[in-house]
Amino acid sequence: MSVNSGRHCLSKIFQPVTIVSKTANLGRQDVTSKSQRLMLELGIIQQAVPGCFHFLPLGMKSLEKLIRIVDSEMLKIEGQKVMFPGLIDSKLWKTSGRLEDSSELFQLKDRHNHDYLLSPTHEEVASELISRLGHISYKHYPLRLYQITVKYRDELKPRFGLMRGREFLMKDMYSFDTDVHSARKTYEEVCQCYDSIFKKIGVGFLKVLGTSGTMGGNLSHEYHYLAHVGEDRILLCQNCNYLANVQLSGSCKCPKCGEQTKLDIKNSIEVGHTFFLGVKYSKSLKAHFLSKNAKPEVLQMGSYGMGLSRLIAASVEVLSTEQEMRWPDSLAPYNIVILPPKAGSKEEAKTKNIAEKLYVALEGQIEGLKDNVLLDDRLSLTLGRRFLDAKRVGYRYIVVINKRAADVVPLFEFNDIKTNTRLYLSENELLTYIKDNTVF
Amino acid sequence: MSVNSGRHCLSKIFQPVTIVSKTANLGRQDVTSKSQRLMLELGIIQQAVPGCFHFLPLGMKSLEKLIRIVDSEMLKIEGQKVMFPGLIDSKLWKTSGRLEDSSELFQLKDRHNHDYLLSPTHEEVASELISRLGHISYKHYPLRLYQITVKYRDELKPRFGLMRGREFLMKDMYSFDTDVHSARKTYEEVCQCYDSIFKKIGVGFLKVLGTSGTMGGNLSHEYHYLAHVGEDRILLCQNCNYLANVQLSGSCKCPKCGEQTKLDIKNSIEVGHTFFLGVKYSKSLKAHFLSKNAKPEVLQMGSYGMGLSRLIAASVEVLSTEQEMRWPDSLAPYNIVILPPKAGSKEEAKTKNIAEKLYVALEGQIEGLKDNVLLDDRLSLTLGRRFLDAKRVGYRYIVVINKRAADVVPLFEFNDIKTNTRLYLSENELLTYIKDNTVF
């Protein structure tokens, strides 16, 4: 993120909406969701080709915040970060049987005419890595490897911007255990880790029984955000609180309590999926361990996906209005924006350095605000115009430096757009408000 | 990186050399350099297919250190981090003329038979992004966008492990300026930034006049590490200190002073390359800005590459012996490893908790050691065996907890493998030594 002598200044940020007169060229693009439109219009992303997007600086900053949350939670369950290649030998997928339904796979050949695919997921790759290392003793399991890498899927109809793209950033973890009992324990731990991640993100989510789809295995859970635009449908039984993907149950009866009337079906966006795979991949790809009896045995696997680029868009989709973006505090590109008076105004003359001083106080005294305070230094624009811009981009706290900032004890117009609150606060009061009301 | 109640413990790290009896299966792999062999044998990377590698946890940790260095230096020159798609519409390269020599390009079609390539570099993509945003005012330039993403090249002969792979991690920056003067200034600033990055990494480098190759443009510099295995050749004139890629000069005469005898030619590995491109891409792809006279004019571009995965391998190549890996302090997966006594030994009984206490002191009192202290808790192995392992992996500081640690004032066997020093130091002396001798 661009900074000017240590300050993050809006004039230095490549955000097309602030620098081109018309909004970003949406003409060529097929806009199918609110979040996609807002993120394009407000310079968070830009479409390159259908289903493939540029992350512009503000989108990138949000994405890196999400990555930090994921990394810190993965660490707590002994997840070890790795990076697998994206270019995958097709024979691995032939071995697992997944090459048969390959309509969504990008496939290519190298100069030697060898077949590759751009992997949308890495169960085969992870299994083969273990396999080629030979037989590792049971003592060294469980093993939990994860990566955060770009994945590819040749969607028939890419849509909803980052939510159903052809190129997307995904966190995927693969677990290996020596027996079913241990593997189920791992599965539970990773699910708890997912709960923690989604709680940290702070957007309301549902954890439901999932369908295994083409992944296989015999147990799965899905994490969903409720949203009209969502392509999944969730069954909620008001009688017994049963929650599941509609595909699991049909839709007219609760599979748990038999209830038929108190059923809700809601559209939702899948943002995470955990699979208990058993030996589906480890068997065919020979991911074995050496047992206590010194015999090779097949490992039990789990696979755990989280669509990071999709999560950013889904959060924006859930929280935004039609005209204004909203972010969870955890993922907002900035948490607070300071608007100094317009150049040449009498307020400007009277409040010299006050914006700077507040900036330093915020960054210095609130740990979560480090690199999260933005100065809107487009001083040729009115405060009103800049206020509307900030509100539209969805910065939660907007501080306006107006004539009250020239008081003996400077007072700041403090706006909390989440609670629709406007207050005049001293610097100390402002710091306290933020500390008390923000989960970074 | 895996931790155990907040400690980084070797037993919890997926490093195949420590967990399989034979070294990683090298049989199928074509080993062509020392760094490749050492990194494979010692569980830093693993080959997936020729030219495509898994980064295992220790390799990943090193890579993330390098990324942090690059990010912090890019920030200083107002580099704004973005992420461009890897899947590129082939027509962009057709427009620039680069599709004609496409032997090293991975190309593919989507389900609609549209042509794509996996981009090895993004000059066209960056130009087209600017182009499609319409005409941005001259006031908003210069603009410096960079990304750290996976790139692809269909090498005829992938070799030297990460140094010439088909899939690699690269930092690439693209600069846009409104006139040649400003663009040259940008070019100089980015070169200085590169100098800073290479100094921070700490491996001796040469900055030489470069060849523009297929990239085009009229000025370029290359950053090289000298190494026998290097595929480039550098001309050094001992008379006038002229430095250039041999391809620039032919090899028998210094182009600057005419000297013919005092010339050295050395093999080297290119680890960075800066290009002043002028309008080569911006013209054909219509990356225009709006001038003071409100007319669209072509932007001046620069492009700046740094092969991050290659840099890791090149550093190891330069610093290692045939049998033992060595890292620059800046990129070592860990800077220090602590070896507690063998389980059941009399030293163990006498030095309870001392390793833990030292671990906490190191992490707590030396900022650069946060998450950089490793505990080799494989207590069934002798200290001697674990010392050799640590030395082979190239951890610079190895602390052995032996009987002297049971003294009234505990003394630690402190080994600095860089300087081949062995000392008995108290905790305070040890902390001081590290502070005085390490650049993190």
Which H or E run contains B357? helix B354-365
Instruction: Please name the member of A49, A86, A133 whose beta carbon is closest to the beta carbon of B25.
Output: A133
The β-bridge relationship of strands B263-278 and B115-118 is unpaired
CB contacts of A143 in chain B (<8 Å) are 14
Separation between Cα atoms, residue A190 and residue A79, nearest integer Å: 9
Question: Which residue shows structure tokens 């030396």?
Answer: B366
Whole-angstrom distance, CA of residue A399 vs CA of residue A121: 44
User: How far apart, in whole angstroms, are the C-alpha atoms of residue B268 and residue B318?
Assistant: 10
Q: Cα–Cα distance between A29 and A165 in angstroms, integer?
A: 13
CA dihedral B53, B123, B213, B100 (to 10 degrees): 90
Q: Counting one residue from A and one from B, how many pairs have CB atoms under 8 Å apart? A: 178
Neighbours of B88 (CB within 10 A): 25
pLDDT at B234 over 80: yes
Using pLDDT thresholds of 50, 70 and 90, give the confidence band for residue A27. low
B314-330 pLDDT, tens per residue?
Answer: 999 999 999 999 999 99
DSSP A242-302: -EEEHHHH-SSS-TTT--SSSEEEEEEEEEEEEEEEETHHHHHTT-EEE-TTS-EEEPEEE
Bond preceding residue B142 cis, omega within 30 of 0? yes
Q: Please write the tens of the pLDDT for every residue from B361-396.
A: 999 999 999 999 999 999 999 999 999 999 999 999
B174 touches A: beta carbon within 8 Å: no
Beta bridge partners of A375: A9, A338
Tell me how long chain B is: 440
Tell which residue, B274, B273, B203, B266, has the closest CA to residue B236.
B266
Chain B interface, best mutation among A49, A102, A289, A378, by max B CB count within 10 A: A49
Contact A179, A138 (CB under 8 A): no
- Please give the share of chain B, as a percent, with pLDDT higher than 90: 84
pLDDT at residue A105 in the model? 97
Beta-strand runs (E) in B178-317: 206-209, 219-226, 232-237, 243-245, 263-278, 288-290, 296-298, 300-307
Helix/strand/coil for A9: strand
Distance in Å, alpha carbon of B33 to nearest chain A alpha carbon: 21
Residues of B numbered 63-82 whose beta carbons fall under 8 angstroms of chain A's beta carbons: which are they?
Answer: 63-64, 75, 78-82
Alpha carbon of A409 to those of A49, A354, A427, B190: distances in Å?
53, 11, 9, 44
DSSP 8-class letter at A342: P
Is the Cβ–Cβ distance between A131 and A285 less than 8 Å? yes
Residue B53 in contact with partner chain A when CB distance is under 8 A: yes
Q: Give residue B2's pLDDT.
A: 41
- SS3 state at B161: helix
CB contact under 8 A, A60 and B83: yes
pLDDT at A414 (0 to 100)? 98
pLDDT of A66-77, one tens digit each? 999 999 999 999
Residue A276 token pair: 């208990």
Concatenated DSSP letters for A141-194?
A: --EEEEEEEEEE---SS-BTGGGB-SEEEEEEEEEEESSHHHHHHHHHHHHHHH
B57 touches chain A (CB under 8 A): yes
CB atoms within 10 A of CB B344: 10
**Across the interface, which of A12, A48, A133 has its CB nearest the CB of B78?**
A12
User: Which two three-digit tokens encode residue A258?
Assistant: 């038999």
Same fold, B59-319 and B334-440: no
Query: CA–CA separation, A88 vs B138, rounded Å?
Result: 44
Query: Is B372 exposed, middle or buried, given 0-12, 13-18 or 19+ CB atoms closer than 10 A?
Result: buried
Quote the pLDDT of residue B1: 39
Mean residue pLDDT of chain B comes to 93
Cβ atoms of residues B218 and B211 within 8 Å: no
Please report the pLDDT score of residue A163 as a whole number. 93
Which pLDDT tens digit goes with each residue over A271-295? 999 999 999 999 999 999 999 999 9
Q: Which two tokens stand for residue B397?
A: 């500081």
Q: Would you call B152 an interface residue with chain A, using a CB distance cutoff of 8 Å?
A: yes
Tokens for A65, please give them: 């915040």
Is A13 at the interface with chain B, CB within 8 A? yes
pLDDT band at residue A211, thresholds of 50, 70 and 90?
confident
In terms of Cβ atoms closer than 10 Å to its own Cβ (0-12, 13-18, 19+), residue A424 is middle
Read off the pLDDT of residues B237-250 as tens digits, 9 standing for 90 and up: 989 988 989 888 76
Measured CA to CA in angstroms, residue B67 lies from A153, A163, B81, B306, B307 at distances of 27, 27, 12, 11, 11
Average pLDDT over residues B399-405: 96
User: Which of B5, B19, B91, B145 best probes binding to A when mutated, by most A CB atoms within 10 angstroms?
Assistant: B19
As a whole-number percent, the residues of chain A with pLDDT over 70 amount to 95
Structural domain B334-440, CATH architecture: 3-Layer(aba) Sandwich (3.40)
Q: What are phi and psi of A155, to 5 degrees?
A: -60, 140
Question: Which two tokens mark B312?
Answer: 């890791």
Q: What is the pLDDT of residues B173-219, one digit of tens each?
A: 999 999 999 999 999 999 999 999 999 999 999 999 988 766 667 79
Min distance A64 CA to chain B CA atoms (Å): 10
Question: B2–A75: do the CB atoms touch at under 8 Å?
Answer: yes
What six digits make up the tokens of B122?
């993004």
* Cα separations in angstroms, A223 against A244, A269, A272, A274, A381: 10, 8, 5, 9, 43
A374: part of which helix (H) or strand (E)?
strand A373-375
ipTM score assigned to the predicted complex: 0.96
Among A4, A84, A166, whose Cβ lies nearest the Cβ of B54? A84
Calculate mean pLDDT across residues A82-104. 95
In angstroms, the CA B116 to CA B350 distance is 66
Q: Which amino acid is at A272?
A: G
Q: Which residue has the tokens 């968070």?
A: A44
Asked whether the beta carbons of B184 and B192 are under 8 A apart, the reply is no
- DSSP 8-state secondary structure symbol assigned to residue A341: P
**Of A133, A209, A188, A184, nearest in space to A300 by CA:** A184
> Domain locations in chain A?
59-319, 334-440
Superfamily of domain B59-319: Bira Bifunctional Protein; Domain 2 (3.30.930.10)
Displacement of CA B420 from its chain's centroid (Å): 26
Largest Cα–Cα distance in chain B? 84
pLDDT of residue B57: 98
| Cα separation, A333 vs A331, whole angstroms | 6
Contact B235, B249 (CB under 8 A): yes
Chosen for mutation from A18, A90, A110 (greatest number of chain B CBs closer than 10 Å) is A110
- Nearest residue to B62 (alpha-carbon basis) of B87, B43, B37: B43
Provide the pLDDT for residue A1. Answer: 39
